[in-house]
Structure 1
Amino acid sequence: MLKEEQEVAALGAPHNATPPTSTMIHIRSETSEPDRVVWSLFNTLFMNSCCLGFIAFAYSVKSRDRKMVGDLTGARAYASSAKCLNVWALVSGIVMTILLIIIPVLVLQAYQ
């Protein structure tokens, strides 16, 4: 017998015969849709025609709450509604701003 075999025979079998185990941690990738809170806040403060910005902000907050709970389907639905409302609020705000500039200019030109 070799010297190492004699030492193993004298010491006996290893006390912990189970193979080492590993732990797997699954990190969920952030593939969910953004909640658009910042855009909604901008529209609420500056482009709040017909309260669309405020309603979009409410939907954005609901989307963020759903995302925190883990309901990604509900979060996507609320985020989609917030996006649609934000687009409408932005477009209507820009159109109203342009009209508020053009109409007075046209009226002043008509009186000259």
Structure 2
Amino acid sequence: MPKEHQEVVVLGGPQISTSATTTRINMPGEISSPDHVIWSLFNALFMNFCCLGFIAYAYPVKSRDRKVVGDVTGAQFYTSSAKCLHICALIFSLLAIIGFIIACAILQHPHRGY
């Protein structure tokens, strides 16, 4: 019989444990609040009404920083603030684009009959 096999046979006998103790470690779960970074990038590049898109871009970065530190309430605050700023930037930018299109349409067609 090889030497390795002999050691397994000798050491591999049944071990009887009289008491079993368990230790439970509670780990905090993953913080799953969205931080809207992609939306921030889109608003900063395309829907940047009065620099509102750039301002809104700072909040998801702060939210990610709060997630790393473990501050759940701070991360949720910055996330909700970023979402509100993104919605405002999107609405104001769309209204500005629609207003520009209407102004161009009105100025391009002269009033006839006056």
TM-score > 0.5, shorter chain as reference:
yes
Aligned to 1:110, the other structure's residue is in SS state coil
Aligned to 2:21, the other structure's residue is in SS state coil
Q: Give identity over the alignment, percent.
A: 52
Tell me if structure 2 keeps the 8 A contact 1:32–1:76: no
Q: 1:83: how far off? A: 0.9
The corresponding residue for 1:34 is 34
The corresponding residue for 1:44 is 44
The one-letter amino acid of 2:87's match is V
Q: 1:71: how far off? A: 0.3
Aligned to 1:34, the other structure's residue is in SS state coil
1:69-98 Cα deviation digits (max 9, x unpaired): 100111111111111110110001111111
The corresponding residue for 2:54 is 54
User: TM-score under structure 1 normalisation?
Assistant: 0.75
Q: How many residues align?
A: 98
Distance of 1:69 and 1:62 partners within structure 2:
11
1:65 partnered with 2:65 = yes
The one-letter amino acid of 1:44's match is A
1:74 partnered with 2:74 = yes
Unmatched 5+ stretches in structure 2: 1-14
Q: Residues 78-97 of structure 1 correspond to what in structure 2 (within 5 A)?
A: 78-97=78-97
Tell me if structure 1 keeps the 8 A contact 2:48–2:54: yes
Q: 1:33: how far off? A: 2.6
Tell me if structure 2 keeps the 8 A contact 1:37–1:57: yes
Q: 1:31: how far off? A: 5.5
User: TM-score under structure 2 normalisation?
Assistant: 0.74
The 1:108–1:15 alpha-carbon spacing in structure 2 relative to 1, beyond 3 Å, is: closer
Tell me if structure 2 keeps the 8 A contact 1:32–1:72: no
1:105 partnered with 2:105 = yes
Q: 1:44: how far off? A: 0.4
The one-letter amino acid of 2:98's match is I
